[in-house]
Amino acid sequence: MTDTIEPPRARGSAWWTLTQEIADFLYREADLLDERKFRDWLDLLAEDIVYFMPIRRNVKFGQHAERENTRQGEGISWFDEDKWTLGKRVEQILTGVHYAEEPLSRTAHLVSNIRLLDVRPDPDHAAEVEVGCRFLIRQNRVEYETTTFVGRRRDRLRRVGDDWRITRREILLEQNILLAKNLSIFF
Amino acid sequence: MTSAPMSAGPASDGRSLREMIDLDRGTISRDIFVSPDLFRDELEKLFTRAWLFVGHESQIPNPGDFFVSRMGSESVILCRDQAGTVHVFLNSCRHRGMKVCRYEQGNTSLFVCPYHSWSYTTDGRLQGVPLFRVLYDGTLNRDEWSLIEVAKLARYKGTVWASWDPDAPEFLSYLGDAVDHLDEVLDCRDGRPGGSEVIGLHKWILPANWKFAAENFLGDTYHNPSHRSVDMIGIGPSAQRGAKGRRDNEYEGGQHVWVSFPAGHGVHSILSRPDPQYGGSYQHYPEVDAYFRHCFEARKRRLGIERARLLPFTGNIFPNASYHGRQPRGICVWHPHGPGETEAWRFFLVDADAPAAVKDVLRRFYMRYSGPAGMTEQDDMENWLYATAASQGPIARRHPFNYQQSMGAYRTNDPLPGDVSTQMTEQNARNYYRVYRAYLEGAPWQALLGRPSVDAAAE
């Protein structure tokens, strides 16, 4: 999840306009989740989306790049999903008998540190962007259950008409042993 | 069973274990799920004696490989030493107790304590003691200060188990006839013995008593309604072809059996019809379907029809090693943290030599089914949390849980070894808590294993 950090002056105004546009997209997405408009949220996901949350491991210094995170496409992670599975998760919540989300959680998705990491082919004609951000998600359930999820996200967005679709989301939760009984919300 | 309780941890109102776990009436006090005193007794008297699941040899294939695991509430290191011998050590320096290993898995020639730099070789021996000649020569005998090693260790079909009790029976005696069911988890799908590998691990904390989780796998089929949401929408390996349910119906036409064993183990398995037929599964993945069809037929040939009829569903090896036998397939260990908190570890298994395409479909199914991110098991966690929470209060604790389901409705050694019920039952749970009670009473091993001669002599 590292990228080269260039001095901001090297960016033209199209880059900053695009940054604002992408930030607004991510805030709108957060609103849909917090307002529990799960079907509308699904519409923001590309049909070929990869939705991935690795498991983070405690490894020796020097082995982080190689071994810290489980890898997409192999073994067991928290999520390594496609749109079908994400659609099933929404469908499950909408049955009204998915007891881990019944009654529904209250969530607040805070998204910050939004930075464009790559724009293709260029900011004036952006067809695809890579965007990094931090998230802080506060989940409260039933009466006393409160969980805070903090981490980083790297998203790949594809322009579709006047809007964007998420084609890849990598979620790095800053935990080793999951300190929550469930990951029943979307990230 | 043995006679009077020796030092039973009392409930808050002074009730004995025999009163709290009343098997004649089929009631069990909520105290055993919430009492800090009983929790301490579990750690002292149960987790220090019973055989516990530690890990899998596929996690430590080479000399120097280690995997940090847990036994009861304590951290242990599963390690293959430089000579290839497998050990399990308490993860605590003999000098001041610091953990000597805080990486989850890796390869090393030494475990070096960060505190004062005592170091241990992979066979546990104390090697390095800084300033030894000046400070310790003539006093400290290194041979006496090795890492603390388990008293008993067993390797069984790739799995590694250990006990802290030097008097514990051999692992296979401990397993008893439950071994037939565990074999169906550990053996290759085509019937070859062993051959599984761990493809990944979930670890998470759940705010519930560990026994709720163990009981769930022990044979509580009655909780099926809590999974209604996944059954309605279909998430199984054939769901993309329109199949409902949370897994393929591999057991159609079979006789479900709930079997309990004298040492406390309990399983829910299936006896297929006398002429077992492959029912079709993984319908969305023709290559995977073909693989499992091949395995099904090969297994029948290898084991013979009668033996091949036995298929695993779920089970729990006493006290806290649960398994799922087929869809999904893995071992889940419920590590106690406190009366109201459990650290769950789920090891996911596949045949090591299965084709890559098969492993890929399996791992994806495992992830969407299992654990805290799994659509099925999220709902289990919800139940265990609120069952624990709602059992804390003084009024709640005056009223025991009901364990009267299918009382007496079982036959012994018919048609399989063990106490066998052909209807949903809480017999497995009643048997489990009988053995649990015996551990907390400090019973001798013969009684813990439920050996009839000892039972008869004591009654």
Question: What is the number of structural domains in chain B?
Answer: 2
B24 located within any domain? no
B107: Cβ–Cβ under 8 A, 6 or more apart, which residues? B62, B64, B65, B66
pLDDT at B52 over 60: yes
The answer to whether the CB atoms of A180 and B348 lie below 8 A apart is no
What CATH number does residue B304 fall under?
3.90.380.10
Q: Is A63 part of the contact surface with chain B (CB cutoff 8 Å)? A: yes
Q: B331 and B210: one domain? A: yes
B23 located within any domain? no
A51: Cβ–Cβ under 8 A, 6 or more apart, which residues? A45, A79, A80, A81, A82, A85, A86, A169, A171
Q: B433 and B334: one domain? A: yes
What CATH number does residue B122 fall under?
2.102.10.10
B184 located within any domain? yes
User: Nearest CA to B19 among B389, B437, B376?
Assistant: B437
**In whole angstroms, what is the distance from residue B327 CA to residue B370 CA?**
10
Q: B404 and B372: one domain? A: yes
User: Nearest CA to B245 among B260, B233, B263?
Assistant: B233
Chain B contact set for A181 (CB, 8 A): 204-208, 372, 381-382, 385
**In whole angstroms, what is the distance from residue B118 CA to residue B419 CA?**
51
pLDDT at B426 over 60: yes
Q: B77 and B213: one domain? A: no
**In whole angstroms, what is the distance from residue A5 CA to residue B250 CA?**
54
B14 located within any domain? no
**In whole angstroms, what is the distance from residue B72 CA to residue B164 CA?**
11
Query: pLDDT-based confidence at B381, cuts 50/70/90?
Result: confident
Which site among B69, B102, B107, B204 would you substitute to test the A interface, given the most A Cβ atoms closer than 10 Å to its Cβ?
B204
B28 located within any domain? no
Q: B144 and B182: one domain? A: no
User: Nearest CA to B313 among B350, B347, B269?
Assistant: B269
Interface A-B: count of C-beta contacts within 8 A: 115
Query: pLDDT-based confidence at B270, cuts 50/70/90?
Result: very high
Q: Region B108-116: what's the mean pLDDT? A: 97
Does residue B324 sit in helix, strand or coil?
Answer: strand
Q: B149 and B181: one domain? A: no
Q: Region B184-210: what's the mean pLDDT? A: 97
Chain A contact set for B208 (CB, 8 A): 181
Domains contained in chain A, CATH given: 11-173 (3.10.450.50)
Q: What is the pLDDT of residues A131-187, one digit of tens each?
A: 999 999 999 999 999 999 999 999 999 999 999 999 999 999 999 999 999 999 999
Write the DSSP string, B161-206: EEES-TTPPPHHHHHGGGHHHHHHHHS-TTS-S--EEEEEEEEEEE
Q: B292 and B343: one domain? A: yes
Does residue B327 sit in helix, strand or coil?
Answer: coil
Q: What is the pLDDT of residues A37-83, one digit of tens each?
A: 999 999 999 999 999 999 999 999 999 999 999 999 999 999 999 99
Q: B194 and B231: one domain? A: yes
Residue B240: give the domain boundaries. Answer: 177-458
Residue type for position B133: R
**In whole angstroms, what is the distance from residue B88 CA to residue A135 CA?**
40
Final residue in a domain of this structure, among B106, B121, B153: B153
Q: Region B442-455: what's the mean pLDDT? A: 82
ipTM score for this prediction: 0.94
Q: B229 and B118: one domain? A: no
Q: Region B214-222: what's the mean pLDDT? A: 94
pLDDT of residue A11: 84
Give the gap in angstroms from C-alpha A47 to the nearest C-alpha of chain B.
Answer: 15
**In whole angstroms, what is the distance from residue B42 CA to residue B55 CA?**
22
Cis peptide leading into residue B10 (ω within 30°): no
Cβ-contact A81, A51 below 8 angstroms: yes
pLDDT of residue B357: 97
Does residue A137 sit in helix, strand or coil?
Answer: strand
pLDDT of residue A1: 47
List the structure tokens of A99. 């007891």
Q: B148 and B205: one domain? A: no
Cβ-contact B265, B317 below 8 angstroms: yes
Using beta carbons and an 8 Å cutoff, which residues of B are at the interface with A? 102-106, 199-208, 226, 228-230, 232-235, 239-240, 343, 348, 363-364, 366-368, 372-373, 375, 378-379, 381-383, 385
pLDDT of residue A4: 59
B165 located within any domain? no
B362 located within any domain? yes
**In whole angstroms, what is the distance from residue B333 CA to residue B203 CA?**
10
B15 located within any domain? no
**In whole angstroms, what is the distance from residue B202 CA to residue B236 CA?**
20
Query: pLDDT-based confidence at B124, cuts 50/70/90?
Result: very high
Q: Region B90-111: what's the mean pLDDT? A: 98
**In whole angstroms, what is the distance from residue B249 CA to residue B238 CA?**
10
Strand bridging mode A45-53 / A163-173: parallel
Q: B186 and B112: one domain? A: no
pLDDT at B3 over 90: no
Q: What is the pLDDT of residues B351-376, one digit of tens each?
A: 999 999 999 999 999 999 999 999 99
Q: Region B258-285: what's the mean pLDDT? A: 94
Residue in A with minimal Cα distance to B240: A84
pLDDT at B1 over 50: no
Final residue in a domain of this structure, among B121, B153, B185: B153
Q: B190 and B338: one domain? A: yes
Query: pLDDT-based confidence at B382, cuts 50/70/90?
Result: confident
